[in-house]
Structure 1
Amino acid sequence: MYRFTLPDMSCGHCVAAITEALQALDAQARIAIDRDARTAEVDSALPRETLAAALAEAGYPPAPDATRI
């Protein structure tokens, strides 16, 4: 599981776009988003770099502090 800080996430539309981008890569991924904290926790077998690239492509580049939890 990875935790990403997403500084550009600010609304419900952002949450939907992030969820859609991640599920397009891994339909089985478990995603927990905290909009107020601007974080997303993603449980996926995919590598962190792949998930981060999908987030950036969707317009929500993660802060460099992404961690495995």
Structure 2
Amino acid sequence: MQFNVQDMTCGHCVAAITQAVENAFPQAKVSINLEQHRVVVDNVDDAAAVQKIIEEEGYTPISAE
């Protein structure tokens, strides 16, 4: 699954999102392209749950699927 997260702007943002998703889904593979504001999460089937986790970190994810 992919999300555009336009308000993700720095390394801290990347770390916060990655840690939050991996804490909730230890099997998750999180890839982030900061320049494109793109978050890709593999090995997780619940896009709504991942989106909520990113929102709870203070960001605004938009599904890019």
TM norm structure 2: 0.91
User: CA-to-partner distance for each residue in 1:7-50, whole Å, 9 max, x for gaps?
Assistant: 11000000000001101111110111000000010003341000
Gap regions ≥5 residues in structure 1:
none
Q: What's the counterpart of residue 22 of structure 2?
A: 23
Q: For 1:42, what is the secondary structure of its paired residue? A: strand
Equivalences, count: 65
Moved over 2 A (4+): none
Gap regions ≥5 residues in structure 2:
none
Task: Give, in whole Å, the separation in 2 of the partners of 1:35 and 1:21.
Answer: 17
Cα RMSD of the aligned pairs, angstroms, is 1.1
